[in-house]
Chains A and B, each alone.
Chain A
Amino acid sequence: MFEESKIWVTLVLVSLIISFSYYIHYQGTVDDANLALQQSQSKLTGMKDLLSIRKKAWSEKERVLNKIKAEADKNTTLLETQETLGQRYHKADSDFKYALESMRESVERTRNNAPGTELGEIKLANGKTLLNVKIRKVEESGISFIHADGVGTIPSDQVPENLKEQYDLGPNALVSMIQQAQTAFLQEPGTDGTNNTSIPPLEIPAGSPSISPISKKISVDDSKIKSIKLRMAELDSRIANCSGLAAQYRTAAKSHQSLAEAAKYRGVPSTRHTENANKNLAQAALLENQKAGLVEERGKLAVELDYAIRGK
């Protein structure tokens, strides 16, 4: 009985020793697992923080990129507007040139035809009346008359309104008004000064993730094509002006020729009408020549444009 109980005590002791050893081992394993878990948790927290910072930084960059894209789109629209305005500017410039040239020429012709014109009695702005008035010469400063009391030059401001209008004199003269408007127009900058304000192109590679292309590259070819097109538009306008003016001169020549024939038929002198008709025909021929030159120049530009487009 005693022996049996000794065996049991030994067994219990051995069991306790084994259990304790396992307990120690178990505690070590749990500690290791806990440590590894804590390390992982700490790593996760760090990475979450870093990811949050990186995400914030990227969203900031993305915001800037979107703004750049918006600005590039706006720039494209502005450049298109600039091109349209450039065409309008050149057309207005061309219109001014034509109007001024045409008016100057018309006034000069009217003034050149004036000497010898009999006006009878005229009343000046200061109230003085001149009798048997005949125009001697018309100048910018005034009109020189031969009248009953002798010869004299009347300053522009004293000349009657109808003569001021006919010979384009005084402050309301159309030539000077057009000239003033043209000067004011040319004082303002045209499209030439705005070329340097295009945004430098920002090119993003095609493979770049989640970023769309930001702007179209405005190449040198584009500006060359634009300049050729503008020049062509200007030439078109000048060609149209020349055609219109030449047609007017031809109509006038026909009218004078009819008057000359009528005068011949009536037996009165027709020389003046014939001369006027010839002058008008000469002007029309001159304008036709000018038009031919412009058409030729336009043709050259068309070839240049073709090459520029192909080269692009």
Chain B
Amino acid sequence: MYRPLILTGLAATLFASSCDKVGTLKNERAKIEVEIQQISKEMVSIDDKFESLRTIHLSNGMTLERHLEESVKKNAELEAKLADLSKNCAEAEAAMSVFRPRLDTYKAKYLY
């Protein structure tokens, strides 16, 4: 006599427990959505950084990489020229340190 009642109760229990699975899936999805939002924020931040680069004025519309190449090349040239100039100045100063006393000696000996 109680068999149908037992069957109905069993079916109701099964139904109730199945609802919990949907909730779990929804929770999991919500966590993923939060993660997606965080990644989106990071993407926006990086995009802003890239956008700021567009406002940098580079002569002749050259790229940053090209600008770097030019800078390295120009610095190397300047460095080489300054090394030559420094050597030239040092040689001139050394020569003058020899000539000056000879000049003074000459004047002292033959002019005064």
Contacts and interface: CB of A to CB of B under 8 A. Distances in A.
A34 B26 CA distance: 9
Contact of B70 (A99, A199, A210, A251): A199
Contacts of A79: 78
B42 A51 contact: yes
B15 to A, nearest CB: 5
Contact of A34 (B25, B46, B81): B25
Contacts, number: 208
B52 A37 contact: no
Interface residues of A, number: 84
A33 B19 CA distance: 12
Contacts of B95: 181, 185
Interface residues of B, number: 69
A268 B111 CA distance: 21
A48 interface: yes
Nearest to A200: B59
A293 interface: no
A68 B68 contact: yes
A44 B11 CA distance: 38
A50 interface: yes
B84 A204 contact: no
Given A30-B21, A47-B43, A61 B71 contact: no
A37 B103 contact: no
Interface in B33-56: 33, 35-36, 39-40, 42-43, 45-50, 52-53, 55-56
Contact of A197 (B59, B65, B78): B78
Nearest to B11: A19
Contacts of A15: 4, 7-8, 11
A307 interface: no
Contact of B39 (A44, A85, A181, A251): A44
Contacts of B74: 75, 197-199
Contact of B82 (A58, A82, A185, A205): A82
A199 B107 contact: no
B36 A40 contact: yes
Contacts of B1: 8
Q: Is the interface of B mostly helix, strand, loop or mixed?
A: helix
Contact of B112 (A67, A194, A255): A255
Interface string A38-71: 0011011001101100110110010011011001
A106 B43 contact: no
B88 to A, nearest CB: 4
Interface in A96-128: 96, 99, 102-103, 106, 109-110
Given A15-B11, A188-B84, A110 B111 contact: yes
Contacts of B89: 85, 88-89, 92
Given A44-B35, A181-B99, A209-B48, 16 more contacts: A26-B15, A37-B29, A40-B36, A47-B40, A68-B67, A71-B75, A78-B79, A92-B93, A99-B103, A174-B106, A189-B81, A200-B58, A204-B52, A208-B52, A211-B49, A255-B112
Interface of B: 1, 4, 7-8, 11, 14-15, 18-19, 21-22, 25-26, 28-29, 32-33, 35-36, 39-40, 42-43, 45-50, 52-53, 55-59, 64-65, 67-68, 70-72, 74-75, 77-79, 81-82, 84-86, 88-89, 91-93, 95-96, 99-100, 102-103, 106-107, 110-112
26 contacts: A15-B4, A26-B15, A26-B22, A29-B22, A30-B25, A33-B25, A33-B29, A37-B25, A47-B39, A51-B46, A67-B68, A68-B71, A75-B71, A78-B79, A82-B78, A82-B85, A168-B106, A174-B103, A194-B78, A197-B81, A198-B74, A200-B59, A200-B67, A202-B58, A204-B52, A207-B52
List the 7 shortest-distance A-B pairs measured between CB atoms, nearest first.
Answer: A33-B25, A208-B52, A92-B92, A71-B71, A188-B88, A197-B78, A19-B11
